[in-house]
Amino acid sequence: MLMLGMMCAIVGSATYLTIATRFTMPVSTTHSIMGGVIGVGIAASGPQGINWSFKGVSQVFAAWGIAPGISGGFGAIIFLITKYGVMRRNNPVYKAFFMVPVYFFVTSFLLSLLICWKGGSAKIDLTDIQAVWVSIVVGVVVALVVATCKSSGHSVALVCLLTFKPKSSFPSCTVASSRVTGNSRIGK
């Protein structure tokens, strides 16, 4: 019964996403699949079968409102630091060369911390203090790479080489460029 319910939730979500995308409505796959699962739950056991409390789906609904607010606050802080700490200062290019490695440090630190906490493809067993130190080291290394490279192209290439290790089981990928002709709807 569970497999049938999940299949129905996915088909319902995909149907809604397809129709909404066709009419250029803003859509969220996460919201859609959550609605599909709740719909299957209501169909299977009625509204009383859903845990509507804050320990249940209400916590997810609250997160949908809280998370954009928090990330919007952080975005505003970073924007204001950049605007008034870099762009509106004397010699903004010099200030930008100083701030770019700082931003790379913060981004690398946060992403590494997330991977340490959540585990990526394998569970990483570190204490919180160990995860913070690993993330600090990763952030410092990335910031130093970015700061010492003369152009951003070299920085990005070096960070990619150090960070992304292709799996040997992946076939080699080639991208063929093609010209779109006729009355194609791509890009419209």
Specify the residue for token string 């292709």.
166
Cα Rg, the chain, nearest whole Å: 23
Query: Distance (Å, rounded) from C-alpha 39 to C-alpha 152?
Result: 48
From first to last of the 188 residues of the chain, give the pLDDT tens digit: 889 999 999 999 999 999 999 999 988 888 899 999 999 999 999 999 899 998 889 998 898 889 999 999 999 999 999 999 999 989 888 888 888 889 999 999 999 998 888 876 667 778 889 989 999 999 999 898 888 875 556 666 666 666 665 555 444 443 433 344 444 444 44
| DSSP state letters, 3-46 | HHHHHHHHHHHHHHHHHHHHTT----HHHHHHHHHHHHHHHHH-
Query: Distance (Å, rounded) from C-alpha 44 to C-alpha 117?
Result: 35
Whole-Å CA distances, 159 to 51, 100, 111, 121: 45, 14, 14, 20
The span from the first CA to the last CA of the chain, in angstroms, equals 42
Is the distance from CB of 50 to CB of 41 less than 8 angstroms?
yes
pTM above 0.75? no
Query: Distance (Å, rounded) from C-alpha 50 to C-alpha 44?
Result: 10
